[in-house]
Amino acid sequence: MDDQHAKTVLDDLLSDVGTGSISSWNRSDNADDYEQVIGFLQLGGTVTAILLLSVSAIGMINIGLAGIEQRSHELLIRRALGATRASIAIQVIGSSVLLGLIIAFAAVLISAVLVWAIPWMMPADSPLEPPAYPYTAAMIAACASIVTSLVGSLAPAIKAIRLQPALALR
């Protein structure tokens, strides 16, 4: 609603009540002043999310490399028995992406239950509407989880495909 429309509506309400009309109009809730602040907070949230996902990917790389070190004998035997480098890479990347998919599904399920439970926690006479589930945000978060899993599994997959089958004979 623009200022002129709001002034007309308020003027009509005041004349209906019998208190007169508005002589001057000063709006004190100008949300336009806060757009820059809101944009800055959104940028800060986005940068923080990217940094957290980067740290998660680095942690996955570290755990993945340690896992490849532990499973190197198993992977070498698979290679010696005829497994291709691609099948080894798919095994390493697939297990990481599958884990990311399971975690993303569990997180979306938990968040859906929490949003569903909010109306039960609100007072009965609350004037607020219960929030709708943010489907777009859930899909973005699930995709970010899967992409982070994929990126975090690339270095372990590269290490796994570089293992030499002759080392299995030791």
Threshold 0.75, pTM exceeds: no
**Distance separating alpha carbons of residues 157 and 89, to the nearest angstrom:** 5
Tell me the C-alpha distance between 50 and 44, whole Å: 10
> pLDDT category, 103, cuts 50, 70, 90?
very high
Q: CB within 8 A of 92, min separation 6: which ones?
A: 64, 68, 153, 156, 157, 160
| CA 96 – CA 146 distance, rounded (Å) | 9
User: 146-165, pLDDT tens digit by residue?
Assistant: 999 999 999 999 999 988 87
Task: Please state, for a pLDDT cut of 90, what percent of the chain lies above it.
Answer: 41
- Start-to-end Cα distance in the chain: 78
Distances in Å between the alpha carbon of 66 and those of 8, 30, 87, 162? 70, 55, 20, 15
What are the helix (H) ranges across 18-165? Answer: 35-80, 85-121, 135-161
Name the DSSP class of 31.
Answer: G
Question: With 70 as the cut, is the pLDDT of residue 25 above it?
Answer: no
Of 101, 77, 75, the C-alpha closest to 89 is 75
Residue 23 confidence (pLDDT) above 90 = no
User: For 48-69, how does the pLDDT look when each residue is reduced to its tens digit (9 = 90+)?
Assistant: 989 998 998 899 899 988 988 8
